[in-house]
Amino acid sequence: MSKRATLRRSLLLSISFFCGLAAANATAAVVTLQAVSESPDQSQQDVPMTFGQIFKDGAVPAGTWLTATIDGQSIPVQVDRKATHADGTLRHAVVTVVVPTLSASATRLITLSAGGTRPADPPVSLDDLLASNFDAQVSLTVNGQLLTADARSLLEQARADGSCRPWGKECNVWLSGPQVSEWIVSAPLKSATGSSPHLAARFYVRAYAGDPIHRVRVNVVIENDWTWVADPQNVTYDATLTVGDNTYSKQDITHYAHTRWHRVMWWGDKAEVYAKLDGQYLQASKAISHYADVHPGDAFLDKVRQSVEPMDNGDETDHMTATGAQAAIGPLPRWTTAYVLSMDRRAFLWMLANDDGAGSYNVYYRDKNTGRPVTITDYPYMTLLGTYNSTYNPDTGKYESFPPCSDCANPYVANAAHEPSIGYVSYMVTGDFYYLEQLQFWADWNEFQINPNYRSHSTGLLWSNQVRAQAWALRTLGDVTYITPDDDPLKSYFVTILRANMDWYNQDYTNNANANKLGAITDRPYAVHYHDHTSLAPWQDDFFTWAIGHLADLGVPGAEAFSRWKSRFVVERMTNPGYCWLLASAYTLMVRDGKDYPFYTSVAESYEKQYPVLSQYTCNSPEMLAAWGGHQPGEMYGYATSPTGYPSNLQPALAAAVDAGAANADLAWQKFADRPVKPDYTNYANFAIVPRPPGSDTAPPALQPSIGFYAEPNPVVPGASTTLHWNASGVTSCSAPWMTGNAISGEQTVGPINGAEEYGITCKGTAGSATASITVIDDTVKRPEIELQAQPATVQEGQATVVSWEVQGADHCYALGDWGGDLSMAGQRTIGPLESDASFEIKCESAVGEADKTVSVHVQSVDEPHQATATDDTAGAAKSGGGGAFGLLAYFLLFGTALAARCRLRRPR
């Protein structure tokens, strides 16, 4: 055999091998779900089921399709891709499967796998739909005048105009495929004499394949939400919705200004099926937090609401400004956590009902120019909170104030400080555009309810709110950015605002050497306003800590670093030996002596100042509990047995700290989890969040072998003793020269201490070992002290600055940030030319500890006073690079394409 033939044969064998691997992995199972019959006595054939599905990062690679099977047999599947992860893998899709047979009250297991090819069949078309006698109509009677709208004429007009396209203003194509297509059309409600200036109807028309089409799902939406229409007002009417043979009527509806309501109805044959998704997979995807293994009971679910009437807010709080616990407050509301933890249809309908009820709050502002929620990009000076003068836009010479209302009274009041999560999970699991817009409207309202000067106009900063309002607004902003479809014009809008906010927080806290050392949100007006501006609310701060951890879970750039910085405050309240963990959940915490005083550097100082009597006793000792007022041992402050008490509010923050890998977070969580007085989360699980488990895609460092180790007191009086405390997790034994036995937790007195004494400990477990050490010093020993400055601190682009430093008490120093290398104990260095803002950090070490300090330099561009923010696209473009590697990458991509084509040719049909 010739060399050429040998080479050709080897190449063919290699291709055959890789094709075999491709075939073997062509359908990798991703997730399972259940098709649950909602028909108690009728069997159904060819039942279509449409739902939203979240996917773990990497589970469905870019360009990969999905297959669906029941009992190993393939069934038709349509995948409308909506959002992708940063690496291009599928994040969220609206999936439609067709169940061949579904017996009465039966449940069938469906497996979705990555692989297969996209169906080549043409999509269900408008021609297919309009070939039937489909129609859906709205009739409203307002002051004796009949207003109408009908879906068929709107669809016929859209077909004639050719206006149906993704994100089209007149006709938005939401789904398109061989199993189902959906079009969204809208129009003002019209009378014989003209159109209503305020009321509009929207039809979400979802037509399933058939010859002829005989199954259409219609979501009929009635809105009173135009932003700039003169004299916005409440409108009272009688309503009749007609879809095929089905009618819904409601008399005397007072439709509040800037609100909406909807009804889902069917034309032809209704698909009586419920998509029961995998709640554990939903949590593992990191789209939501990880919850404790609790489940709402049947007796409880039998009583929860299943629907709401128009302008009924359901179980939402009438006035969200009300104090105290609310069922809607938390990372997710009570109804949504009940759904996530049970995936029960009753909880599912409860969640949808309350997300529907949220439509009755006046937060909905739609722009006629775009047909979508109004944005602060288009109107950077619009606001609900500022004065008329603050709405003047100098670029346009116009005031962007909203038109005044003549009659806009609403019994329901929204409030950012108590804002629920609305629409996020409902859209995630249904794929309904209605719930996507619910989420988008609320995220947008969070922006323009802030004074435009405080939010930096179109930048959309959230810092000026109460800390809890910042937390919930960041949660909503992160959720809407994560789940909004990639090609939605609003995607970049929310991404830009979120990026600007994360940059602001990291500049103000994470990367700011002058930020407080507590890890708390202390800047700005509403943070430290208790007790004459000396104290803050730890529970509000804990909401914020969880929110940032959630953003880190969602992969928001900058959130991971901020989460580690932020976690310090909740962890220290549980672990600092100078702070009693029973009061980690205190309602307020003193953080400075007066309004203009510096912040304390440790929660131990807070505890001593706020609780001078209790600080004299050992935490949780009988003496301390007696002085506190008769609390049980291990009973934390603030309704310890309540699922909405202050310890419960603290729990998600601690879980986020563990997931972030924050120092001592494992020790803090273990202490919290081991406390004897706890709530029952069974039917009220808003705050039942726990760290992600070992073996998940994000097994937290805190759940690996680790040790919490500290000495108290430290430093000590020369010749005195100290007590070493240790608490290890993920291990089976610990050892050290100074300890007796191998206990994994405990305390032991050591000494005398003269100068500096180092103590170490090693703990071992099945997954490995961990070590920890601590240096105990007497109070004659000083830790390193650093003086650092940059002059000038502000330079023009292309100029230099001089960084100078002086260090005392250190053995070794080195530079970090925008410079590097080892440093002497004193000196100066000229650095430049500088093209962008820079930070210079010094870290110094000694036998008794370490210290660090950072100084920043601002670089002004030639066209300042404009300052570059996260909204500037040039920074990202400049950093993208990658041109040199493209040739090689393209080569492999082309080779992979050829290989795939070869495999397809060889695959049996």
Phi, psi of 892 (to 5 degrees): -65, -35
Question: What is the CB-side half-sphere exposure of residue 797 using CA atoms within 13 A?
Answer: 10
By the 8 A CB rule, do 808 and 851 touch?
no
DSSP string, 579-623: S-GGGTT-S-EE-BSSTTSPBPSSHHHHHHHH-TTGGGS-TT-HH
- Token digits of residue 277: 């998704």
Phi, psi of 57 (to 5 degrees): -60, 125
Give the pLDDT of residue 849: 67
CA 447/CA 853 separation, integer angstroms: 35
- Give the total residue count for the chain: 909
By the 8 A CB rule, do 235 and 188 touch?
no
- Token digits of residue 698: 């994000």
| Cα separations in angstroms, 486 against 387, 482, 490, 686 | 36, 9, 9, 30
The crossing angle, in degrees rounded to 10, of helices 467-483 and 538-553 is 10
Identify each DSSP E strand in 38-153 by its residue range.
44-54, 66-70, 73-75, 77-84, 90-102, 107-114, 136-142, 145-150
- Token digits of residue 688: 């039942």
By the 8 A CB rule, do 125 and 181 touch?
yes
Q: What is the DSSP letter of 39?
A: -
- Token digits of residue 679: 């709530």
Give the pLDDT of residue 27: 62
Residues paired with residue 194 on neighbouring β-strands, in sequence order: 191
Q: How is the chain split among helix, strand and coil, in percent rounded to 5? A: 30, 30, 40
Mean pLDDT by 10 residues, the chain (909 residues): 40 37 57 95 96 97 94 94 96 98 94 90 96 97 97 97 96 98 97 95 98 97 97 97 97 98 97 97 97 95 98 97 93 98 97 98 97 98 90 95 93 96 98 98 97 95 95 98 98 97 95 94 86 96 98 96 96 96 97 95 96 95 92 94 97 97 94 95 97 62 61 86 79 87 84 90 82 85 87 90 90 80 88 85 77 86 44 33 37 41 37
Place of tokens 């950015």: 481
By the 8 A CB rule, do 94 and 52 touch?
yes
By the 8 A CB rule, do 109 and 275 touch?
no
Peptide bond preceding 48 in cis form (omega within 30 of 0): no
By the 8 A CB rule, do 66 and 79 touch?
yes
By the 8 A CB rule, do 180 and 206 touch?
yes
CA 685/CA 341 separation, integer angstroms: 9
By the 8 A CB rule, do 831 and 841 touch?
no
Give the pLDDT of residue 870: 33
Residues paired with residue 715 on neighbouring β-strands, in sequence order: none
Give the pLDDT of residue 889: 37
CA 548/CA 623 separation, integer angstroms: 38
DSSP string, 436-449: HHHHHHHHHHHHHT
Which positions ≥6 away from 843 have C-beta within 8 Å? 813, 814, 816, 850, 851, 852
3-state SS, one letter per residue, for 777-836: EECCCCCCEEEEEEECCEEECCCCEEEEEEEECCCEEEEEECCCEEECCEEEEEECCCCC
| Cα separations in angstroms, 524 against 120, 588, 761 | 57, 17, 42
- For the entire predicted model, the pTM comes to 0.77
By the 8 A CB rule, do 444 and 360 touch?
no
CA 172/CA 184 separation, integer angstroms: 5
Question: What is the CB-side half-sphere exposure of residue 851 using CA atoms within 13 A?
Answer: 16
Which positions ≥6 away from 611 have C-beta within 8 Å? 580, 583
- Token digits of residue 687: 């705050």
Tell how strand 589-590 and strand 392-393 pair up: unpaired
3-state SS, one letter per residue, for 196-215: EEEEEEEEEEEEECCCCCCE
Nearest 5 degrees, angle CA 344-CA 349-CA 350?
95
By the 8 A CB rule, do 556 and 85 touch?
no
Nearest 5 degrees, angle CA 619-CA 625-CA 631?
120
Peptide bond preceding 679 in cis form (omega within 30 of 0): no
Pick left, alpha or beta for residue 509 (phi over 0 → left; psi -120 to 50 → alpha; otherwise beta).
alpha
Q: What is the DSSP letter of 702?
A: G
Identify each DSSP E strand in 565-620 by its residue range.
589-590
H-run or E-run covering 333: none
- Token digits of residue 398: 């116009």
DSSP string, 703-714: GSSEEEEEEESS
Q: What is the DSSP letter of 421?
A: P
Which positions ≥6 away from 126 have C-beta within 8 Å? 155, 158, 159, 164, 183
By the 8 A CB rule, do 777 and 715 touch?
yes
By the 8 A CB rule, do 57 and 89 touch?
yes
Pick left, alpha or beta for residue 42 (phi over 0 → left; psi -120 to 50 → alpha; otherwise beta).
beta
Give the pLDDT of residue 847: 66
Q: Where are the alpha helices (DSSP H) in 423-486?
A: 424-430, 433-448, 467-483
User: Which amino acid makes up residue 811?
Assistant: D
